Structure 1
């Protein structure tokens, strides 16, 4: 994987955190943020295509995930909030010499991407969010259907129990497939989810989502703060976002002034399952 990339460990925020990051190519910068329970390796079929198209591509492991630092949990979950992760990403890109960059995030990474774009709008030239509507929008619409399909959000929020359940047999819990993921991506992911500190950090990501992250989003919406940069929203047609809400763009209209998007013929992990379509869509947008 990532044959044209270098691997770095970058100190961010006055050495508070260390991020494992892959960087490749030359040209306009693009930052790619992975989702749960993946690492930056999930982009291994997409990132090289962006490099070939003339971009410099930056693929970090989010705080708590993969080989990046795993901060101690805090009572208010702020150590794993999307605001904390967004600051990490801004400092990372600044240290790599980029004051402004294009940004794409998938799943949990999309929430960090959204927060980065809301908190630091001048840093983000264009934003792509994959399989995403804001956390607060999910929760404001939560019903029996949502709770049945997305029950893991509420299970992960419980103290201590999910750590014990998942670490007992992480392979069975997450059920990765090396054929779909690619063997090297699968091996890296499998090593990550066998680390109890990674499991705890990923759960804290979800706990932050239901508490402090939701509060930050609701405050932005109440203040009329919306995305000013061009926004591309993509969603997997063989996942359940459209089943839950219909066209996700109808929800995003309240959050963005320049919006476009469409469904992708894929399961949830579109970077692994539909890399050609995703890469071409991102190249054309960026």
Structure 2
């Protein structure tokens, strides 16, 4: 099934989450609901931040960008996944596969760098509050955002260019629900030495750099908070970080489980863990930030009241 070489290869076959026909429609319904919740939740976060003057600060600026990236990130994967659930021929073209992989890597890395930027913001706010406005100014935020986007796209471009040099002459069946890097790399019958070296050096550095930045920021935050004399002050400082720490734990916990393992061990467990950071985390982020953040909760309530007021202007039609 699917014997081909590089010149004749036109498509891959995605096995998805289950090969059983009776599972396809329930899985379609489940992931469609998750996707719609993700879209609505993240759009509400973006609108709430941009409509409330009290949320016009660097932390919420990065949160609004994170919500936008989460929408893009999950959109790269889930719509094609939904089509596959309802299709008898579960195929994805070679070009579409590489395109999906490019944007998956780009948005995924942008996510991690934005989490690092938010950790820096919390570090400055807690450890250097009197200089917060001057340090986390518009220029600094713009530079952090530009670096996150530029480096992530360069990393993604490098990986795709190297992937495009490989020959695929064995089975074209991808044991996954999207074109992830490792499952596709396993299908190559040419040498993947360069790809693996780049992944273990540049690729690992691109993942570890933001994680180390987050780790160092929170170690310094912890030291500063422990020096606060009052218990109330400590609780207030920790409360400003709790939402971000929850998201970081969800994201990096599943990423490390999937990618910090040998290539040959990519199994069903890794496939399920991948759902966590590609589908579930983007859906949960709006709930985590709104339910555990009073300012964000007020902003959302204010936005929903505006929407209700706007909808109330349209009188219901009465039967004659």
Q: Which has the higher helix share?
A: 2
- TM-score above 0.5, yes or no: no
**Which bin holds the TM-score, normalised by the shorter protein?**
under 0.3
Q: How high is the TM-score relative to the length of structure 2?
A: 0.25
Larger Rg: 2
If asked which structure has higher relative contact order (CA below 8 Å, sep 6+), I would say 2
